Amino acid sequence: SGNPLAMAAGLAMLDVVQRPGFYDDLEATSTWFGTEMERLAAAAPVPITVNRIGSLMTCFFTAGPVTDFDTAMQADAARYGRFFRHMLAGGIWLAPSQFEAAFVSAAHSPEQLQRALDVTESSFKKLID
């Protein structure tokens, strides 16, 4: 005997994720978003590595690949902190640590994602050394 509202919400969510093309659309959107982040960083230029699986992604401020704890620790955590604060000031809430994942959600509209990228671009430009 669980919470009936939580059960109804869970069943509604299962309806959504079972729609044809749901995961394909989410993967396409997530791929686009991660690629745009990389493009904006290169244009700034700010060295980043975006690790992404499906709709989960993390932006590390390092030019090299991040594949384990040691390479993650080589990323510039102070620069991530500045990025986080710039994004927050622009109305985009990210995890406060580069070791946590961000998510692209099916609930994010194209306009919301573009706004996040616009703030990302502005933030990257403020991070140039």
Taking 80 as the threshold, does the pLDDT of residue 84 lie above it? yes
What is the residue-averaged pLDDT of the chain?
Answer: 93
- What's the pTM value of the predicted model, to 2 decimals? 0.87
Return d(Cα 124, Cα 129) in angstroms, integer: 10
Reference 62, options 71, 53, 70; nearest CA is 71
In 40-107, where do the E strands start and end? 49-53, 56-60, 102-103
Per-residue pLDDT for 1 more than 80?
no
**pLDDT per position as a tens digit, 95-113:** 999 899 999 999 999 999 9
91: left (phi over 0), alpha (psi -120 to 50) or beta: left
What pLDDT is recorded for position 129?
66
